[in-house]
Amino acid sequence: MVKILVVDDEQDIAELVAYNLSREGFATVKAYDGEAALNKVRLEKPDLLILDLMLPGMSGLDICKAIRANPETARLPIIMLTAKSDEFDKILGLEIGADDYITKPFSVKELMARVRSILRRVQEGKKQSVKENFEYDGLAINYVSCEVRVNGTPVSLSPTELKLLIFLSQHPGRVYSRNQIIDNVWGDDTFITDRAVDVHIRRLRSHIEKDMENPRYVLTVRGFGYKFADVK
């Protein structure tokens, strides 16, 4: 059974989210502060984290950073809850490594749709590809184990970053618009914007590119979108 950790200092909200997740058939674990959240990530090993931005002591952004910095938890999918509607907070959360965000007050139905969408992406990323391995100019991807290496060094990517890299690398040289990337990486029931695509591309590049201003793997096609480099 899929296990989801819900972290929110407002216990009524945590209980509401956990109750609706249980109705959808998910196992749930709850935490009400940052320290407890990190302990439960370590002990409970959840499959997805729903994380409030504003927490006492350790903020949701700090928790997200800590999770992404630990190789054992770096790929844990994270949906960030925030009472702040300002775009800066949303983009900052994505840049730090959240896979999605939802602004309070939120629709439970919308949150459940996002949970299912992210879990589906994770499962699709684990499926065996026709081609198990991909190598190009120092970048190596194992599509089965989802391991990524750059010049022999392991790279930890979030589930969304990994899905982006797998999708683009499986179609080298082909240009995709942001909307096409959304359709293929996030799916039809998405709430992702064009701006969020750019943020995730930048996050991906920060992990695999030596020079983000002059990338050699994931390239920008001005006026249209992105592509993986032409593989000869």
Q: Got the DSSP string for 150-187? A: ETTEEE---HHHHHHHHHHHTSTT--EEHHHHIIIII-
Q: Which domain holds residue 206?
A: 128-228
Contact 143, 128 (CB under 8 A): yes
Last residue within a domain, chosen from 110, 125, 140: 125
Between the CA of residue 74 and those of 77, 134, 139, 160, 161, what are the distances in Å?
9, 22, 19, 12, 11
Contact 53, 89 (CB under 8 A): yes
CATH code, domain with 132: 1.10.10.10
Among 19-23, 190-194, 205-209, 223-227, which stretch is predicted with the lowest mean pLDDT?
A: 190-194
Q: Which of the two residues, 145 and 207, has the higher pLDDT score?
A: 207
- Residue 113's H or E segment, with its range, is helix 108-126
CATH code, domain with 115: 3.40.50.2300
Contact 74, 157 (CB under 8 A): yes
Q: What is the pLDDT of residue 180?
A: 87
- Domain tally for the chain? 2
Q: pLDDT tens, 61-86?
A: 899 989 988 888 988 999 998 876 66
Given a cut of 80, is residue 190 above it in pLDDT?
no
Between the CA of residue 106 and those of 13, 140, 175, 203, what are the distances in Å?
10, 40, 35, 26
Same domain as 109, residue 17:
yes
* Residue 56 pLDDT class (50, 70, 90 cuts): confident
Same domain as 108, residue 157:
no
